[in-house]
A and B are shown apart, each in its own frame.
Chain A
């Protein structure tokens, strides 16, 4: 079975500060891991994904995430927050043999001017 835990349902950072959104996963097989962003009343936009290969993946809008198998984590970071980063962020896991996505409960990011 697969599951995702996002620690912190709400995160607030100052503009220009580091953004760190936490994601831990549980998977019985090698996982595919994703981060999506959702703006109000909109669908999901893929930020980045890890499938195989390099464990540090870079995505859009300056975000990156590192897959750490030993810690079963896939935390999302951005060195300097921008006002436009304020949104809901979802971590998701999928598996090789299946195709469903299992989403975390989401983290709402607020950027303080």
Chain B
């Protein structure tokens, strides 16, 4: 099956610094990628939809200036948490849609997640 990778898998940073998380589709092209956030013992909440070559679409309540998303190529989307604070500590998961499979939108593959801890 299709593989989506995330890097890094874990990151610890100081409050006030910025952290970049990469999401890559390894064996398919993904014109659309999604970023989710998961708090401990809670469900995944969609943060934004990342479209290759255009601006990301953010869900209500998500600060676009704090969570910068760039989808510069068909296989890479990045999420940058700017001026991170302890409340940004969370598990961030990306997913990517594989259009080339000829399938509809249900062919969405999830990355393994990135755990961010802000001290």
Interface residues, chain A, with chain B CB atoms under 8 Å away = 32, 34, 36, 41-46, 49, 51, 90, 94, 96, 98-106
Contacts and interface: CB of A to CB of B under 8 A. Distances in A.
B108 interface: yes
B106 A42 contact: no
B29 to A, nearest CB: 15
Interface in B30-71: 32, 34, 41-46, 49
B105 interface: yes
Interface size class of B (residues with CB under 8 A): 20 to 34
B110 A103 contact: no
A32 B97 CA distance: 15
Contact of A44 (B46, B97, B110): B110
A83 B43 CA distance: 23
Interface of B: 6, 32, 34, 41-46, 49, 93, 95, 97, 104-106, 108, 110-113, 115
A101 B93 contact: no
Nearest to A43: B112
B46 A101 contact: yes
B43 A32 contact: no
Contacts of B106: 32, 34, 49, 51, 94
Nearest to B44: A103
B104 A51 contact: yes
B43 A106 contact: yes
Contacts of B43: 90, 103-106
